[in-house]
Amino acid sequence: MIKTTAGKSAELQDRIYGTDAVLDAHVVAGQYDIIAEAEGDEVYTVIDTVATEIHDLTGIVDTRTYVCLEEE
């Protein structure tokens, strides 16, 4: 879940979707502005992607990462 500065959600959605490990990204209404789904072989891979590639983008205000523990 990603909170952006006003007016930046659509631009950041495209940049986030192009990030390694990100499978999908959607602009949403509510407390957060974008919900992104990421996948990795290890939890560290996803956390590293958020911390180094997404959170550092200009216009990102806050992120929340939730890890699914179930496998399909």
Domains of the chain: 2-63 (3.30.70.920)
pTM of the model: 0.88
Q: Which residues contact 59 (CB under 8 A, 6 or more apart)?
A: 4, 5, 8, 11, 12
pLDDT in tens, the chain (72 residues): 999 999 999 999 999 999 988 999 999 999 999 999 999 888 888 889 888 999 999 999 999 999 888 776
Provide the pLDDT for residue 72.
66
